[in-house]
A and B are shown apart, each in its own frame.
Chain A
Amino acid sequence: MRASWRDTLLSYAFLAPALVLLTLFTFYPLAYGSYLGFTEYGGARFAQGLAPKWVGLENFRTLLADPLFLTSLGNSLKYLLVVPALQLASLAVAVLVSRELPGMAFFRAAYYVPVVTSVSLAAVMWEWVFNREGTLNWALGALHLLPAGGAFGWLNNEHTAFWAVMLVTFWRGFGYYMVLYLAGLQSIPAELEEAAVLDGASAWQRFWRVTVPMMKPTILLCSLLSTIAALRVLEEVLVLTNGGPLNSTYTALMYVYSKAFQGFNFDYGLASAAGLVVAAVALLLSLANFRLFRESDGEGGRA
């Protein structure tokens, strides 16, 4: 069937609002933002209404020489440690709630509640947990894991703040991946698992030999989403520690944000360049993720 003029015209009329908005607020900023990364723009230049000035790789040289940027990039990479923990835990929780036992609907919904919690609310609530007088110190004290008088503010200590923020990311994320894994689990044919049961496979063997291989596409998708999200962590840091103490929680996107919007010497050029570096790392990691899973897939096929 050939497209008629009428259909084409109508189609574009219906698509117009979405296309205009996407062009203005997604494609144009992607292109212009990339361009800005190679220019000098911001501060006095911006105030005087001058156009961005092309400076080539200058911004990237500045970034490489900026210890704060290197720290922030290092922190962002370190933040990726949340990914394996988050994925293993969500998959385990999904398996835990997948059996149709009494109360399961309640547990599933309750585990999802942190996902629908705003980051600012999480900040308010977790501050009370991590506080010097908070629940965490109290619980550790009750378990005799904390020396007398050893209580401290977990978010104010440069050795623990990073992990405290990561725990909040973990808390807000595991219900989300649980739902995705649950959908994956439900698409595994029941016959497969029953056959394994009849063959005398233990629950543990069934998990590793049947569930995990069948779940490979979901695991790939979830670790991909999770990797990118971890690399782009900004809100948690912003509301919980604002990058401190001593920059121990300062992440790469925090750097982008503060160069562009904080202080008087805001620098759109440098901020955009830093954003491009983060974007490049995100892309590389996504590709690596794909490769990793394809290779292990091949091995599984041979075995």
Chain B
Amino acid sequence: MSAVTRPASRTQARTRRTASPRKVGRLVLRYVLLVGVLLFAVFPFLWTLAIALTDKTAGGSIYAFPASLFPRAVTLNNFMEVYRTFGLGKYIWNSVSITALTVVGTLIVSALAAYPLARFRFPGRELIFGVIVATLVLPGETTFIVNTLTLKKIGLLGTHLGVVLPTVAGAFGIFLMRQAFLAVPHALLEAARLDGAGEFTVLTRIMLPLTRPSQAALGIFTLVTTWNAYFWPMLVLSAAPDKLPLSVAVLKLKGQFNYDPFNIAAGALFMMVPVLLVFLAAQRLFMRGLEGAVK
């Protein structure tokens, strides 16, 4: 609530005193600092974008500062070239496949597990919830070793399913969905049950439609993390280079095209633009998901 009332009371506090030159000075200083941090945060992206759009046939080095930040001749050729010669489509498809499987899996598993934890009393509930929350703090330094051994044993090493399965059941998602389910009014569920709805119907017809924002937050969060994941897919797919996602393939690109930063930059944008668009479109949900998991 305080977040709602605050801006109003703040303006009051401000208008009570007149704007002095010192205040204006402080405001200017604030924006100078803001722009400074902005440059630090986004400079690498802007430069990558500039390099990717530069027409390399026009000559010039990417290191000719500051001229290389403002390409004289702009082209999309680098994108086409890297897409064709490196077979980028394959890696994009792998990323899409791994990410889609993970998002769908996480949403299903989290919602299913969160429902009884939020709505039923049953022996073992506190224990199970405690154990799930404990996974947030348990140091898992050795889990990736045993997990690769397990995947090998069950024949999933080198497959997308092998990348996905170990990641879909997580405390983050279960916790987030439980919080959302707890907020659904009890009377609504009672009414549905009196009407003879089974628990699965209650979950799919009442709980899920009413908790769309939380699912969206969890879905977007999972999407971004999975799309960007590097270490785990690299490990699971080390023997299946054709199944690697873009996040891992991009570095192979660097090895292969070391002499051609234009192509590397274009490849990097292929990886970055989708996630950036998703983030910008849904940043409120995204950050809410983050806060929700921490509270």
A contacts, CB < 8 Å to B: 1-3, 7-8, 10-12, 14-15, 17-19, 21-22, 24-30, 32-34, 36-37, 93, 96-97, 99-101, 103, 107, 109-114, 116-129, 131, 133-135, 138, 171, 175-176, 179-180, 183, 186-191, 194, 197, 203, 221, 228, 232, 234-235, 238-239, 253, 256-257, 260-261, 268, 271-272, 275-276, 278-280, 282-283, 286
Contact = CB atoms under 8 A, between A and B. Distances in A.
A279 B166 contact: no
A125 B142 contact: no
B31 to A, nearest CB: 8
B63 interface: yes
A114 B41 contact: yes
A222 to B, nearest CB: 9
A66 B262 CA distance: 43
**Interface SS of chain A:** helix
Contacts of B121: 1-3, 7
Contacts of B47: 125, 128, 135
A46 B159 CA distance: 22
Contact of B261 (A128, A235, A261, A268): A128
A17 B169 contact: yes
Interface of B: 2-3, 5-7, 9-10, 13, 26-27, 30, 33-34, 37-38, 40-45, 47-48, 51, 61-63, 65, 108-110, 112-113, 115-117, 120-123, 125, 128, 131-132, 135, 137-150, 165-166, 168-169, 174, 199, 203, 224, 227-231, 235, 238, 247-248, 250-251, 254, 261, 264-265, 268, 271-272, 275-276, 279-280, 283, 287, 290-291, 294-295
A72 B102 CA distance: 33
A217 to B, nearest CB: 11
A25 B45 CA distance: 36
Contacts of B238: 261
A179 B272 contact: no
Given A186-B2, A197-B13, A25 B138 contact: no
Given A119-B230, A138-B65, A171-B41, A124 B264 contact: yes
